[in-house]
Structure 1
Amino acid sequence: MSDIKKMYTTILGDSFPMDMTVSFGDQTLVYRKRTWAIPTEDGGVDERGLRYGENPDQEAALYELVNGNLALANCKFIEPGNSLVSGFTVEDMLQVGKHPGKINLTDVDNGLNIIKYLVDKPAAVILKHNNPCGAAVGTSLADAYNRANRADRIAAFGGAVILSRPVDKATAELMSKNYLEVVCAPDFEDGSLEILSKAKNLRVIRMDGINRLADFEKFRFVDFKSLIDGGIIVQQSAVNSIRSAADLTPATATRKGKEYACERQPTQQELDDMIFGWAVEHGVTSNSVIYVKDGCTTGIGTGEQDRVGVAEIAVHKAYVKYADITCFDKFGIPYADLALEVEQGKRDASDKEAIDAKVKEDRAGLPGSTMISDAFFPFRDGADVGIREGITAILQAGGSMRDYASIEACNEADPQVAMMFTGQRSFKH
């Protein structure tokens, strides 16, 4: 067992070269491997790259684009000099903790991929395994973080937090109550680092580039997917074109000469939640369905093979997480611990029954949520899942042969549900 524990704290090292060149016909991109000279406890310096890849037995390296200006047809890709995750230095690592591994950096990167659409407000995204656990905007940074954390306190354990504003003491105090792997923000105000430094293995990264993150909305990069046979699929990175209510279209369809239209129009808050939710959806592994309310996620379903299944998974997760935070607020312990104590006879069953009744009464906080789907509903059963839980609006891509059925589901709901189309799919694999 001691050897298994040791492998997670050992820097594997890598055999990858310092420079890497990728040629696209007569155009060339040049990359430089990123390493960090981190002081050691004995007063020396340990210069290494990534700790390891996705698993401790996989060598890995991080490369920064340092030269080349790639243009293909009418698409000009991102140029050197715009580094974020691939460019932070030892000086930016305000608390090192441990050399970062691949998952730490891909979590930060996907957090930036989401928060780049939210930088006009105090915003927080907490990620695990490259998917958001919770995301929120708020009246302050502390409010945004607290809402994102409460959306899924369970999964946030060991997560990476990405923030749109400099960390103040109030936000640092909230984060210090969690076990976190990474905190990344544009800066850290006086006194905040002293609070965060109580967690010795926490990686604290200052990333000034967050201040200009909105510029990255229009940047494209080359997205590589390697195959088991050594081949590579290359694609342009995705761009979110849904940035305001004006980018949405009413949900309409035609079938056998009959016109269908969603009868209820969304409120301003529902439109705001649609734009917020689509930004979060841009960073969720497909197939995905999420629920959001008042600028905060209430349920996130990721990576499922069928759309109705992922809609149901998001609901199930919402109930589990709501039970946990309700229990934590009332008794100061996780719901799982409460259930175990009841099972062991250490606590009266009425305590658990009270939490269960509260969750059932509140329907996990889902009523009033907006349902976001990263692609169209092929059948109305996906929309029906959310409608049964009390959602009031749906945002989906549209384009299914059965759009009329989803529109009918919204019109038949009591009360009626609003629906809008994006005309854009948001798959991420």
Structure 2
Amino acid sequence: MNFETRTGPDLGDAAPVYPAATVPEWYRDAKLGFFVHWGLYSVPAWAPAHPPGGVPAEDAYAHHQYAEWYANTVRIPGSPTWRRHQEIYGPGCSYEDLADRWDAGGFDADAFVGELVGAGARYVVPTTKHHDGFCLWDTATTTFNAARRGPRRDLIGEFHDATRRAGARFGVYYSGALDWHVGDFPPIESDTDLFRFRRHDDAFARYAAAQLEELVTRFRPDVLWNDIEWPDGGKGAQEHGLAALFRRYFEAVPDGAINDRWGVPRHGYLTREYTHVEGVLDTPWESTRGLGYSFGYNQAEDATHSLSGAALIRLLADVVSKNGNLLINVGPRADGSIPDLQLAAMRELGAWLRRDGDAVYGTRPWVRAAEETGAPRAYTARPGIVNVIALDPAAGLLDLPVDLAEGTARWADGSLAGFERRADGGVDVVIPDALRGDAAAAVSITMNP
């Protein structure tokens, strides 16, 4: 879903002046971040497993693939989630009652973040509050939070401290548009409802602003990742309005980054969710998705629904070649442990990046992302160097075009790449036997002056 096109009410001459939101170089260099969707929805940890080809549009919300939407889906009578909730928890148990059943006793922030950084993450973005309104930090705005109920821990504080200790950048996800805990709308059952059934009043705008202000004051996040939109009541020139919030944020974090899901005529980088981008985008952007079809942990999913390590590596290479970052999501169990299926893919990605990370980190797109014919590959570039990431090393040969044929080619270990010159002026690089079983292999071409 991409929401950057909606800009809220037309305020005319009363429209506020927004500060510049340049995408910082650290963010463009980082290339890989990890989302962490962990919350009250991790207690039931369930959504209908996504069938091949998806579900009809009219059933998309009743059969929502995102487990983190449980609080909405469970309110749709007759939905699979509604039926399962009655069977397991009984009709007298509301979604919010699950807060007192949440045991996060298996969560070790340093070990958890260590796995993310070990997988190659340069920034970490946990969900501080999803659409259900349950806050994961010790907020003064509501008692519906993890410090007062369930875990009785300031989980975002723990995430923040562990991420800083690990040397990674720290960001926060915040649901600005939706908070089902403080609203009385019916369940969302269509894309139209998504923008209709939510609060825009001044009181809710102040509530959202107070929460975001707390997060900025306490954690100085390197990334503000808002979801879907912002209440229209907070889009004016007020001190609790979004323009003023942005101004204070950039004063506190001058090299901070914001995304595009605010519903105002100012944004930082673009986001694309479960979307394939065809070519190089001029504007820095971020691809985001879960390792499976859900962001929150969905116990109904198995390996057939989840990216393998090889697929994850190839996804990262594709995104980076097109001027993007990958924000891949891990969805832990309620106790704070990472499911084995996700962990295996993460560790495979980390091992590949430890060898071929120079073809990813700190790079920029080349003149094109790939080739329309020949062996599948992804291009990235540094000054004087073009990296070619072979996405099918088993083929044994990587055909380089004429405009790369005169460079010096080396593998990650520094060894020269063997090649065979073709009649058309290009060359075929011979992929070493040791690399042919890998998901991808990067060769760097130093361009001769």
Same fold (TM over 0.5): no
State the TM-score, normalized to the length of structure 1: 0.28
State the TM-score, normalized to the length of structure 2: 0.27
